[in-house]
Structure 1
Amino acid sequence: MTLLSYGVLFYIPFIYASLPSPNDTSISTRDVSGSTSNCNTRTLWDIIWGCTATLFACTWTVIHPNIPGIDDGKFTVACRRLCIMIIALVAPELMITWAARQFFSARAAANDIRGWTMTHGFLAWMGGFLLYVNGMPRATLTPDELLRFVHEGSVDMPVITEADIEDRSRGDVLSKGVVILQLVWFVLQLVARHAQNLPMTLLEIDTLAVAALTCVPYGLWWKKPKDIGRPYAVHWKATRPPPSDLTYEYVMSTLA
């Protein structure tokens, strides 16, 4: 059913199919003519707008992408995020798998490295530490690589507090709260209509299913920084020979 979410325009025939016929005695419960004289009356635009706002809140604003490459422009970043949003609409189970892998990887990193929190673990697995050798970017470091280089004395452990990471993150409690309120408002509307035995469209039912599935990665990513533009620099010590087994590459979404 989630395939219908790929585009709102595809839902319009289903919405019309869900509307009562002119001979139906319950036609007053939903009217597409635009009249608002009855509290139960909803226009076609009201249905599409409510579902679109909920789908947008549950996909575009909920997605916590990894840190982009240092040469990626705004257009590339926007396209990558749009692709992730489409995946969230078409195959939300993949989003849940991705978020779950990052959650458990971040928790493992927080347990392995003293003084780290889940936020530090998420930052590391999303490409948050970029190794510089002789002033040039060399590679993004996983938590295991960072810890190994620290033990070898090749780099210093970055001293970053959770507050510093959250300060660079663009996702705060307020923005997350707005998304939750939008979802709660949509769900309450459907619950109220069901309690009053009023009909619902296929668009609304499918939107509810997608919203429910996207709540899972939203919870798993609650401590993950959002929309950080550049990673933290980790400098290789000049007294150590440069690493030969690392080459710079963008940390792909499947890293964690």
Structure 2
Amino acid sequence: MPLLTPEWSLPPGAQARFSTRAGGVSKPPYTSLNLGDHVGDDPRAVFENRNILKTQLPSEPLWLKQTHGVAVSTPISRSLFQKVGIEADAAVTNVPNEVLVVMTADCLPVLFSSSNGEVVGVAHAGWRGLCGGVLESTMQEILRLSTDLKPEDILVWLGPAIGPHAFEVGEDVVDAFCSDGLPIPPDAFVPIAGREGKYLANLYLLARQRLLALGLKDISGGTHCTYQEKEHFFSYRRDGLTGRFASFIWISA
């Protein structure tokens, strides 16, 4: 099946899925279920790949134009503007069958659901977005959709991203996180022996730290590595020219 279900205890009414690179029609280096229409793949192949998923989704996903920023698409903003060409790196909804989605190929997809299944969200968290506050912005919009919700009412799943043994960064990334005012978890940045100014970064650990600081308690996932799992996931760091897989969440009608 092109779409898999996360190992995540969601409440009745909330649904989540993610794709891998298998089950599509794209040719190398986009083999095969590339969903990105901005990476140089044949547009006809991308169109067909997205159509393959439609049978497993209740509606056309709200594809975002992702910019590594912190903007969040909301039901109000979508009612005021077109639902296509949305420039944002996160989205939230309380509207049944409105499918939220982010595409990734090393960055961290983060799915959110309220414990009552009435509000869901999704965020694209590369290191820039993570450091910039995309998770905090997403949580803010989720809580605005339902004033009865508290941070501890929100469940989170950390989807497939580049793992801590593969994500090499420089001093600039470490400095960016150190200067944002939040404590840096131990082992978030491990110096690489013999390579001054180079570190292995742990996106999962950094994301968990920020979510815990917001008051969330139920955080699942964080077990994959897109870089190492070549058969299953696209990885920009590994391959350069490559496709994108996606993570989806919605509320069942």
State the TM-score, normalized to the length of structure 2. Answer: 0.23
Structure with bigger gyration radius: 1
Q: Which has the higher helix share?
A: 1
